[in-house]
Amino acid sequence: MAIMQVSASTFAQRITLSEKNATLRKVFDRISDQSGYNFIFTSDLLKGTKPVWINVKDTELAQVLDKIFANQPVSFSIEDKTVVIKAKEKSLFENIIANFQAIIVRGKVLDENGQPLVGANVFIKGTNRSVRTDQNGNFSIDDLPDNSVIVISYVGYKVKEVRASSDFMTIKLEPDEQTLQGVIINKGYYSTSEKLNTGSAVQISANQLQRQPLGNPLQMLQGLVPGMQIKQTSGMPGSATTVFIRGRNSINSGLIPLYVIDGIPFNGVPVDQQVGSGATTLGGQPNGFTDPLSNINTNDIESITVLKDADATAIYGSRGANGVVLITTKRGAKGKATFDVNYNSGLSEVVNQRKLLSSSEYLDLRRRAFANDNRTPTVALAPDLMLWDQNANTNYQNMLIGNTAKQNEVSTSLSMGNERSSLLLSTNYRHETSILFGNGKYQKGGFNIRATQTSADNRLKLDLGTSLGLTSNNMLGSDFASAAINIPANYPLYDSTGKLYWVTNFSNPIATSNQSVLNKGSNLLVSGNLSYKVSEHLTARVNLGYNNISQELKAKAPASTQNPLFSTPVSSGIYSETEGKVYIAEPQLDYQTKIWKGILKATLGGAWQQSKNNQPYFINANTFASESLMDSYTNAANFTTVRSLNSEYRYVSGFGILNYNLLDKYVVNVVFRRDGSSRFGPGNKYGNFGSIGWAWNFADEKFIQNLNLFSYGKLRGSYGVTGNDQFENYSFMDTYTSTTSSYGGNPGFYPTRLANQDFKWEANRKMEVGLELGFLKDRIRFTSSFYRNRSDNMVVRNAPLPAQTGFSTYITNLDALVQNQGVEFDLNATPIKSPGFTWDVSFNLSISRNKLLSLPDELFTLYGNTYAVGSSLNSYVVYQNTGFVNGVAQFQDRNGNGAVTSGLTNDSYVAGTRDPQFYGGLASAISYKGLRLDILVNFTKQTGVNQIAFPGLLGSQLDDLRDTQFKPSSLTSSAAYSSYVNYAGSDAVLTDASFIRLRNVSLSYNLPEKWLGAIKSKRAQIYLRGQNIYTITGYKGLDPETQGSVLPPLKMFVAGLQFTL
């Protein structure tokens, strides 16, 4: 606030002045020039003053000043030769009138760095009126008395009170590390604060997610959540993601976590697998299944919460056995309408190519192989040696998977609201091309509508939302990763006549590029939550929802793209449609009251869910009159497969929660749930589950405070039981399948499963102890957890039966016991925090061990060769390679019977596990004024499988073959190759597949406010983001995460602009 002073050298106290529509500042200058008096004032005092109209001649200074200030909101006083300008004091009558006058208050709430605080609470002191700031930090409140006081609060910042003003208010909050434990955590049926939370829950905000230019929300969590192992299965757009929360809990049952979007369960199983095992599936990808969560618009996500222990997951009963992932979408912000646009464009490419032999080295190896076999190469046996150009050296990795994909994405949102209602309308569109030869494209779009309404008395609240996501994935018939490695560098794509050239060893990639897999998907989600405050202590609410997810698939292989050396090519196609529907209703009563020195909260509720899955058709058709007619199966002359299938699943539950909080130091949380599932027979449909959790905030104890060591400290623990019913519908019943044979002229059926109405729920017993600490006013936060999960009463699909029953196996429960045990560490620190500059860093580490503790005798004949007691369910069961003799691989005959045969009861042994030894992530965020740099690194210590090839065969050209110990051979009947088959299943192929990956780098800059007026924007940000930028690994394959011959995760760079109008 600058103080301005004007003066002059002339000295006269009688003034002559004539001004029209002049500012006070100009009038002060004129008077000072004539009188020599100084005027002292601040710029803020002159805001809101009126223009001056005056015409006086030779008039006393005091009279002139009285005329000037007559109708102004400021007054003056004269002290010596100085005129002091000050705010005019209101009379008693004016103060009374002001109390009845209403003003409009508008403003912006900023953090210590001048950045907007989204969702800050703006409360009118002495009333129940409040609003929240929008995504630009702005707020607006109408009809306020001009003497009102507004209170601004935000988690992690000190509460600030300011007097309301009709002028635009800019309010900057100061950090308050002591309140960081007040962060609110969403736990599904209820919310709690971080300080009072008794369970293990990790919440990731939209700010952390939006810095990654990915289309799948699960992949955004890699390296951020302790205990959550995420693996991308392919670099293809929309490809599936493997997720384990604290390990594998079951031998046969499903392992997928429960996903809940705005209170609605969302099936994470690929759509065409949801119908059941009877469905015929293709996957929707050239190399795997399509992830249904790729239908979700990541820009609509407000937060993702991962629930891990019994206290956090038991409220979901049997559905929470493998952990719970809660996805909450954005709501409209209260305040003036804002329109946000986010556009980015970028490029993607493969990070790494597999090292291969040079063309000359490969051809020399082939010649050695024929020499070792005492065979003479011929055109038929060795076209690469006898027919193809010996000097050709095509890099097929460059050609097939070395292209650059382009990506464009735009999202918009319109947000508005006041203290009683809000509305959000958002849209998105994403377009990606492919790095593959022949291209392909992936398109994704949709909209989201979210509205909230609160009654005038704040007792009735309504939250409604509808979102629709559409995808179109038009890809080639192969991901080309395997072909790019196996096709020799001198292979000719065309013959001498210009036609496609064929061999029996592999497909011509030009032909494959003309095959296509078109997968169209849709995801409709409708949710509604209604709550009513019946009394001061009691609130009733109901959650209703509907989800419809569908997939239409069309895979075409025209005759011109098929190898004529095998058979006469016939155009063929696979056509299918699959749909899944979920209906849910969950009534709930919440009660809260004070008892003694604490607060008791009780919840009683129920859940009803029905899932319907339908595959109207799966058709494999061929023989089309023209390749141009292949878009519809109705144009086919022959149908080899025509199937349809549908299934239903019903689920009903009652649950209760009791929570007692004593002095915010001692907390106990008890959860009970009784679930009923249609997947069990009469008498076994219901299961009881529950948990107890506790927390002690010991840093609030006086004897701890006297140590002056901890700013925050909590010890917590939990124990509970959840169930698991993730297996096929109708599993307790007899099932039959149709056959092409007939009986009496009618279609025939035969039994495929024996009924067993006695099998029951699997049980998962979870135990955890956690320690949470804060130091230096929470500038350093550390969390450690020890957990042990044990699953028993395993549902076994293939328990052996005597042959006399007519069935070899049946489904039942057996007492196999599986354990997951581990520790997790999470460290968050702010090494530097000063006005304008902040550095935050976080690190997490997870160490987990999976172990089969017991295997009953009934299962030994079934699983004895696959699983070993004391080892992981994900063990590598392999031969023991003892070296080579004359170029032939040798193996340990562990059972001493003179032959090498597979299985743990024979010559195989447990050589390691696919489970990572440890994994985690490191994140760093540096903010300087409007500039921000974020870096995310994730790492995994694991054992993987090497890519291998046998030396001497057509297409075997991995660079490892330079130093091969195998005797090269061109024959698959040779002794060396026969040993290679066992070698591929031995410990010799196991390798260190650990890696450290620079997962994400994001550089953003918020344009200064002084620039925004020129572009008529309230806020604008430019950014540059990179994904999968660099990987440190000793693994020789394409990628240590995906391993094998599949397209690896892509390196990606995008540049974007986000602005708000």
CATH number, residue 130: 2.60.40.1120
Q: Are residues 62 and 129 in the same domain?
A: no
pLDDT score of 4: 40
Supply the pLDDT for residue 1. 37
Residues near 717 by Cβ (< 8 Å), separated by ≥ 6? Answer: 693, 694, 767, 768, 769, 770
Residues 6 or more apart in contact with residue 301 via CB below 8 angstroms: 206, 209, 217, 327, 328, 329, 330
Burial (Cβ within 10 Å: 0-12, 13-18, ≥19) of residue 104: exposed
The residue segments making up the domain with residue 137 are 92-175
| Angstrom distance (rounded) from CA 291 to CA 421 | 35
If asked whether residues 125 and 161 sit together in one domain, one would say: yes
Q: Judge if 31 and 53 occupy the same domain.
A: yes
**CA 106, 112, 113, 115 torsion: positive or negative?**
negative
Asked, for residue 470, whether it belongs to a domain, the answer is no
The answer as to whether 224 is a domain residue is yes
Residue where a domain stops, chosen among 142, 175, 208 = 175
Looking at the structure, tell me whether residues 37 and 97 fall in a common domain: no
Q: Which of 146, 175, 204 is a domain's end point?
A: 175
Give average pLDDT by consecutive 10-residue segment, the chain, 1061 residues: 37 77 86 84 76 86 85 82 79 49 78 78 75 80 76 78 80 66 70 90 89 90 96 87 93 88 89 66 60 88 93 88 92 85 96 93 97 95 95 94 95 90 95 90 94 91 95 87 93 94 92 91 95 94 96 93 92 93 96 93 96 92 95 94 89 96 95 93 91 96 92 96 85 79 74 84 93 94 97 83 78 89 97 90 97 86 88 96 97 93 94 97 94 97 96 94 95 96 96 97 90 78 96 94 90 95 86
CATH of residue 14's domain is 3.55.50.30
> What are the b/e assignments for 591-623, b being 16+ CB within 10 Å?
eeeeeeebbbbbbebbbebebbbbbeebbbbbe
Q: Which of 175, 210, 232 is the last residue of a domain?
A: 175
| Two structure tokens written together for 47 | 């805001």
Question: HSE-up of 448 (CA within 13 Å, CB side)?
Answer: 28
Number of domains in the chain: 3
Query: Looking at the structure, do residues 165 and 106 belong to the same domain, yes or no?
Result: yes
213 shares a domain with 161: no
Q: What is the CATH number of the domain that holds 260?
A: 2.170.130.10
118 within domain boundaries: yes
Look at residue 690 and tell me if it is in a domain.
no
Considering the domain boundaries, does residue 1053 fall inside one?
A: no
Q: Are residues 239 and 137 in the same domain?
A: no
CA within 13 Å, CB half, 392: 14
**Spatial separation of the C-alpha atoms in residues 878 and 903, rounded to whole Å:** 8
Q: Do residue 197 and residue 220 come from a single domain?
A: yes
Task: Using alpha carbons, list the distances in angstroms from residue 704 to 700, 711, 871.
Answer: 7, 10, 43
1018-to-415, 562, 820, 932, 1013 alpha-carbon distances in Å: 14, 58, 51, 19, 8
Asked if residue 101 and residue 83 are part of one domain, the reply reads: no
**Cα gap 788→850, rounded to integer Å:** 10
889 contacts 982 by C-beta, under 8 angstroms: yes
Instruction: Give how far Cα 461 sits from Cα of 330, 528, 956, Å.
Output: 17, 11, 67
138-145 and 943-945 as β-strands: parallel, antiparallel, unpaired?
Answer: unpaired
Do 196 and 282 lie in a common domain? yes
Q: Mark whether 135 and 271 lie in a shared domain.
A: no
Domain assignment present for residue 796? The answer is no
Same domain, 159 and 97: yes
CB distance 676 to 688 below 8 Å: no
Q: Contact, 162 vs 152, CB < 8 A?
A: yes
Asked if residue 849 is part of any domain, the answer here is no
In a domain, 467, yes or no: no
